[in-house]
Structure formats: C-alpha cells, structure tokens
Structure 1
Amino acid sequence: MSVRVVLADDQPLIRSALRVLISDSGDLLVIGEAATGAEAVRLARELRPDVVVMDIRMPIMDGIEATRHILAGPDPARVLILTTFDDDEYVYGALRAGASGFLVKDMALDDILAAVRVVAGGDALIAPSVTRRLIEQFVDRPPEPATTAVPRRTSDGITGREREVLTLVGRGRSNAEIATDLHISPATAKAHVARLFTKLDARDRVHLAILAYQMGLVAVTD
C-alpha cells in the first residue's frame, strides 16, 4: 500500500517538482497540496495522510505552527520539514513542535524520497549537514558559567551496543541506517535509541548527537 503524502509549500514550482518526484517513486502517493500552513492543517485533518512534507515559511500560518496544530489532533500524520532555511531557530522550533524530520531542499532527490519513507515508518531523521553544523556551533560556543553549566554526560551506564548506536546518531544516521550498519532490525535500532533518550536524558536526536561529541564518540569532521 502506498504512503499517502500531503505537500505543503507556498511555491507552486516546488510542489510540482515534489509531486512528480513522488509520483514516479511507485510506493508514495500525493493526495493533497497546500500553499499555506492553515491549509496544510485542514488537509491533514480531512485527508488523513501518512506524512505531511512541510515548508517553514508560508503565509497565514508558518510550517512550525502548522506542525504543532497537526500533531495536536487525534491520530496525527507525521511531519517532515523540508525547507531552504536551516537556521537553528527553525530546527529547534520544528523539533519542539514534534516534527519527525528536518531536511534542506539542496539534498539529493533520492534522499528526500528515502526520508519520506523513513518518517512514514515511524523513524525520525535530521539532515546530517544540519546535525554537523549544530555540533560545530556547540563546540564554538563559549563555556557556560559554572553556576549554570549542565553536567557533562559520560558513557558510563550505557552498553557497548548503545555506544555504537549513539556514535551513529552523532553522525546523522537514521534508525534504518543504524540497523543496516549494525546488522540489526530497525525495531531493535529504534529501541536502542529510545533507551539512550532515557539514560542520557536527551531531548531529541540533535541533543544525542551533541552528547556523542561530548563523550568523544564522534568528531566534528565525522
């Protein structure tokens, strides 16, 4: 059965290109298009898609607010942010709103299709370039005053396999890619990531990636 997709972007040319790309995939189906965030919310509620591919800058309601509204409803669609703007404010705003993925439009077309499938399957995905840049900014940031600094995490208390998974998260891998790299099932990879969130008190995958850097599991150049 095809993955049902709603496209939300205020630029008709972008929607048209994505529609052709998705239509040619064979396993994905565009069931609706929205030019505003408000329209994206309405279509998500009426058409019940599996995934909404959402731009950020749109009239009437931006993509982050639209994501928040979509995910507040019953049995919501999963939201994949696809945007030209990868500013930190947008990344964190999208993740806080509950988006399952954050991609930039200069990614390869096959990677965009793969991301839609990943998100539809219940996984989360952040563009490796975005993860890497956020880690670089974290590295360059001056140390916080001792009175407010967050204690540095260590890898104590996590298993060897969880350490391997954390390293791959730090390199921007999705759960599906982690499963392939480690020769485990996607469900097992997802379970490892879930345990890492709990053990390391991490907010999201970007936070896990930063923790992987702090622990010396990955370098900024990885």
Structure 2
Amino acid sequence: MDDTSRPVRVMLVDDDRMARTAFMMMLAGDGSMTVCAQSANGREALAMLQEAKTLPDVILMDVRMPVMDGIEATARITHLFPAVKVLILTTYDQDDYAFDGLARGASGFLLKDVTIEQLRAAIHSVVEGDAVLTPRVTRAVVERSVRRIGGDADVPELRNRLARLSPREHEIVSLIAEGLSNSEIAGRLTIETSSVRKDVSRILSKLALRDRTQIAVMWYKAGLDVTTPR
C-alpha cells in the first residue's frame, strides 16, 4: 500500500483506559484510519515513539495524566517528531490547558464529547495540513489565555508583522482565527481550496510561523477581532 492510500495511523494517549477504548471504537468503523498504539501517560508515549519503527500520523492527547501531562508531552513530541500531529483532548473547564497545548505545538484541540464524525474529520484535517480550531470554543480559549499570559506588550510588534500581509492574506488570517478550515475559507471567499493552501503557505513564510494554529494565536495576541478591517 503506498503512502497516499494507507490508513492514517492514530495513537491514543490517555490514563483512562475506558476513554481510550471509547475512542478506539469510534475510529474502528473507518477503514481510512487505524489505532497503531496506546499509552497511559506522556512519558510512556514519548518512550514508545522513540522505539517505534513507524511513527503515528496523529496523536489524540489527553491533558491531565500522571507522570507526564499532555501539555509537556506535546511540547517534547512536536519538537522531537515534527511530522507527528497532536490533537489535544479537552473539556470546557480545561480551556487554559487547550491554549497551552496550542502554544506548545499542538495542531488543535477537540472537546471530549466530540462526535464520531467530528473526530474522524478532525484527524483527516490535521493530516492534510489544517488546524482543528473548533469555532465555538477557539475564540474563548485563545482570548482568555492571552489575557492570562499578558500579551499587551507585544501588540504593536505583532500588528506590524500582520500589516505586511496583502488584503487577501489578511482576510484569510482572520478566517483562520475564526476557526475555518481551508475548504470553508475557500467557500467563504469563493475561490479554490488549492488557492487557499498556497495563500496559507505564503502567510506562514511571511510571518515566520510554523503552522496555522500559530496564525490564530498571533491574531488574538495582537488584539484583533475576526471582523477587524486591515
């Protein structure tokens, strides 16, 4: 099976065995993905990755775990294995943890009450290069956490960097911050998805950022609203 047709490899990291079982069952009926590994904490997950002959494509990472929590594990994994995408599993009362995960390199976050369809779509999205920034929680998570870490001093510098973008690029950044995927942005702007991908790549280069999650974080740290004009 070539790399374009093989199932997406998913690793589950959660100290709750029942939670891991539930997520495994949610993925079991989808032939396009397979659970390749499971672990009960971040340190164990890191050790498994270091010994693995084949890395997972996506890790579903719980936040609160013994030995090593999901935030520290995410930071180490995304540094040592940049090709591996991490999705943080969170609940409403863990919003701050979700932001910390994004800041440490996660490709997005999912609420633990995610539906089967949402879970599968999210996994495919991060494999294809999208971030998973659920619109109904993204703004609250990022804005509240930016206030918590006190980002006001950086606002002028961040706005200057964003001012280097063209009007179209600026609009795309605002839509990324709103939580839209590439295909949703394409629909909103009535352009091809491939054009959005090219624009996002160019934006990342101009802003010297790693991924679209960092784009959203920069937008909110700059104190901008999704409707803020250029």
Q: Which interval holds the TM-score relative to the shorter structure?
A: 0.7 to 0.9
TM-score, normalised to structure 1, is 0.78
Identity of aligned residues (%): 38
**What code does the residue aligned with 1:166 have?**
V
Counterpart of 1:216?
228
CA-CA distance at 1:213 after TM superposition? 0.4
Counterpart of 2:135?
128
CA-CA distance at 1:195 after TM superposition? 3.7
Cα deviations across residues 52-103 of structure 1 (Å, max 9, x unaligned)? 1111111111111111222232564111111226645423321232111122
1:94 maps to which of 101, 109, 128: 101
2:27 maps to which of 22, 26, 40: 22
Matches within 5 A, 1:15-54: 15-45=20-50, 46=52, 47-54=54-61
1:56 maps to which of 54, 57, 63: 63
Question: For residues 175 and 11 of structure 2, what CA distance do their matches in structure 1 show?
Answer: 30
For residue 19 of structure 1, give the secondary structure of its aligned residue in structure 2: helix
1:10 maps to which of 6, 15, 22: 15
Question: For residues 186 and 214 of structure 1, what CA distance do their matches in structure 2 show?
Answer: 20
CA contact (8 A) 1:44 1:77 kept: no
2:107 equivalent to 1:105: no
CA-CA distance at 1:118 after TM superposition? 0.8
**What code does the residue aligned with 2:159 have?**
R
**What code does the residue aligned with 1:206 have?**
V
Question: For residues 146 and 85 of structure 2, what CA distance do their matches in structure 1 show?
Answer: 31
Question: For residues 83 and 163 of structure 2, what CA distance do their matches in structure 1 show?
Answer: 37
Matches within 5 A, 1:148-159: 148=153, 150-151=155-156, 153=159, 157-159=164-166
Counterpart of 2:87?
80
CA contact (8 A) 2:177 2:226 kept: no
**What code does the residue aligned with 2:186 have?**
A
Counterpart of 1:207?
218
**What code does the residue aligned with 1:10 have?**
D
Cα deviations across residues 18-76 of structure 1 (Å, max 9, x unaligned)? 11111112211111111111122123331411111111111111111111222232564
CA 95–156 in structure 1, closer or farther in 2 if over 3 Å, else same:
closer
**What code does the residue aligned with 1:15 have?**
R
TM-score, normalised to structure 2, is 0.76
Cα deviations across residues 133-189 of structure 1 (Å, max 9, x unaligned)? 146648999x998xx473283875533422431232232112343234435454432
1:164 maps to which of 143, 166, 171: 171
For residue 119 of structure 2, give the secondary structure of its aligned residue in structure 1: helix
Question: For residues 156 and 63 of structure 1, what CA distance do their matches in structure 2 show?
Answer: 35
- Deviation larger for 165-174 or 197-206: 197-206
- Deviation larger for 149-158 or 89-98: 149-158
**What code does the residue aligned with 1:179 have?**
A
CA 136–65 in structure 1, closer or farther in 2 if over 3 Å, else same:
closer
**What code does the residue aligned with 1:17 have?**
A
Listed as ranges, the gaps of 5+ residues in structure 2 are 1-5
Matches within 5 A, 1:167-206: 167-197=174-204, 199=206, 203-206=214-217
**What code does the residue aligned with 2:74 have?**
T
CA-CA distance at 1:194 after TM superposition? 4.0
Question: For residues 192 and 226 of structure 2, what CA distance do their matches in structure 1 show?
Answer: 28
